[in-house]
Amino acid sequence: MSDLSRITVDPDICHGKPCVRHMRWPVEVVLDMVASGMSINDILADHPELEREDIIACLHYARTLVSGEPARQVA
């Protein structure tokens, strides 16, 4: 299981969108990279500030949201 504490929401970062570890990496951008066909290794090679666990947390975050669980329990 991934560590959802890696997904943070801060109104001062990216207009309050869920991001990776308070960085300017919105979850949706990471998901776009995965959806475009990039592998985790491709993403990590292109963006060394990200960690494997960050990408897994983004996927888990998206899965949790579409599962219908209340968002307040997610981030």
50-55, long-range: CB < 8 A, 24+ apart: 50/20, 50/25, 53/2, 53/3, 53/6, 54/6, 54/20, 54/21, 54/25, 54/30, 55/30
Task: Render pLDDT for 19-31 as a digit per residue (tens, 0 to 9).
Answer: 999 999 999 999 9
Each domain of the chain, given as residue ranges in start order, spans 4-73
Task: Specify the CATH class of 4-73 in words.
Answer: mainly alpha
DSSP bridge partners of 28: none
What is the rounded average pLDDT of the residues 47-66?
95
pLDDT at 74 over 70: no
- What CA–CA distance (Å, rounded) separates 65 from 27? 12
Angle at 21 between CA 63 and CA 43, to 5 degrees: 70
Considering the entire predicted model, what is its pTM?
Answer: 0.88
Mean pLDDT score of the chain, rounded to an integer? Answer: 91
What is the DSSP code (8-state) at residue 39?
A: -
